[in-house]
């Protein structure tokens, strides 16, 4: 604050810095973490959809009804949808495409 030729106390400067640090820690970091998780879920969904379409184009209907394993996904055909299910250690993910 000396640049502005004001006689301000160090307490005011430190409180402004603490408020700025609090704003970053309490608002911006959780918001960026949530955006990262949304992006990760969208990428996972696109990957599962791509795997479903690949499995549907390569395999027959009978194989799909029994279940086909491609990579980390198990592709299974139900009555009106094809689902990709993964059963990892930490999370279970299911993506379905209806036809």
The full set of domain ranges for the chain reads 10-98
One DSSP character per residue, 39-77 reads: HHHHHHHHHHHHHHHHHHHHS-HHHHHH-EEETTEEEEE
Determine the Cα–Cα distance for residues 76 and 67; give it in Å rounded to an integer: 5
pTM for this structure? Answer: 0.71
User: Could you read off the pLDDT of 6-60 as tens digits, one per residue?
Assistant: 666 777 888 889 999 998 889 989 999 999 999 999 999 999 999 999 999 999 9
Query: Taking Cα atoms as reference points, which of 92, 90, 57 lies closest to residue 73?
Result: 92
């Amino acid at each position: 604050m000396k640049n502005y030729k004001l006689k301000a106390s160090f307490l005011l400067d430190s409180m402004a810095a603490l408020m700025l640090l609090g704003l970053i820690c309490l608002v911006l970091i959780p918001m960026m973490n949530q955006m990262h998780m949304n992006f990760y879920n969208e990428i996972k969904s696109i990957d599962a959809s791509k795997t479903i379409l690949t499995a549907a184009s390569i395999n027959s209907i009978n194989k799909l009804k029994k279940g086909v394993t491609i990579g980390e996904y198990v592709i299974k055909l139900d009555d009106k949808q094809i689902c990709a299910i993964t059963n990892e250690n930490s999370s279970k993910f299911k993506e379905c495409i209806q036809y």
